[in-house]
Structure 1
């Protein structure tokens, strides 16, 4: 089933290509126009602004909390009934150390507040926290897709794997445009979007 979209596209493959093209362009703007520097760091409000900016051309629900329950495989994300409360609790979680930041990231992934585009938005959100608090970002181009997906699948039960995986890919090149752009491409690749390079848009 194709998600209802602003483009009126009914074919899921066509929508995936157009979504990748439009949202990667917006991801580029987040960096080049210094929009990320104006957002709250480590809050749902900040994440919603990132999501809203990325998906503004594609979905009416860009930047708004989902109104349905969602699942991936056998895993059910936070029930709609408790979603708002869960997000308030996540906002209060500490982000004063690497471990605390990744634990906060894992909880936001479990919350999965949007209908679509959670992973791509939340990885940008995570980097903003790491940059502010630790002077580091993840070089996502160094994080293997299968390793990442497996570690994230396990993370609600045990976050050890995702902590180790991302720690090994940390860099202090926090203002390096190439690291950011390659990171966006890697982030999209985790979700199966691999048609366009961000730099070519």
Structure 2
């Protein structure tokens, strides 16, 4: 698909993605997208959705984005993706080679990972790198991939700690630098507290106090569920406000 055809298929004339709400303001769409997708991530994590293979990635993408986009869960077949994040150029898996790469990831990476009682950080990082390169959907690949891998980790009684500031991870993934990726993503027991050296604090959360939006969570698992839903939705150039975070916390309290 030519670049102009790709633009017209997915975007309004001002560049905002076409959406089910017919929102033409990109900033307004970002907030609606953050609200809906964070809610859906919390529902999946709270229900402990079980992962059986890479096909579940499309199911998750559809669940997260179906309220927003007609193409939710649809793998790219006739167009390629090039994105620029900060200073980094990213070229996704060419559409024509996605089926081959899909089979490789599913059979060679995910099958042994899912068969292991305690997958290693090396296994998670390799899967993360390959699925990120695959980038099978028009948008929402990072959020879907992190949710997918976190669900696998939960099945294994593990927890993947993704950094709130993702630029270091993005830089490492762009270079397929597994050592660098392991410096950004950490693996812990699901019921285990973070070591003090790994605990993060931002304007809307505090790992040591298990606080989000000035609300303290007595349950470590609840805290991680809500924090992941927020952190997975923080991407280059956009962050939620404190009120946005409080709204997410309020939604989780009602689940």
TM range (shorter): 0.7 to 0.9
Question: Rg: which structure is higher?
Answer: 2
Structure 1: 5+ residue stretches without partners: none
Tell me how far 1:29 sits from its aligned partner: 1.9
CA distance in 1, matches of 2:191, 2:171: 26
Distance in 2 separating the partners of 1:137 and 1:118:
20
Query: Displacement, 1:143?
Result: 4.7
Residues 37-90 of structure 1, C-alpha deviation per residue, up to 9 Å, x if partnerless? 3x334x221111111111111001111112421112222100001112211111
TM-score relative to the length of structure 1: 0.85
Instruction: Find 1:137's aligned residue among 159, 168, 171.
Output: 159
Paired residues, number: 192
| Structural RMSD (CA) | 2.1
Matching residue within 78, 82, 85 for 2:97: 82
Aligned to 1:161: 180
Residue in structure 1 matched with residue 171 of structure 2 by the alignment:
150
Q: Which residue of 2 aligns with 1:14?
A: 28
Question: Highest relative contact order (Cα 8 Å, sep 6+), 1 or 2?
Answer: 1
The 2-side partners of 1:100 and 1:31 are apart by 21
Shift of 1:6: 0.9
| Counterpart-to-counterpart distance in 2, 1:144 and 1:150 | 12
Greater per-residue helix proportion? 1
Normalised TM-score (structure 2): 0.68
Q: Distance in 2 between matches of 1:188 and 1:152?
A: 18
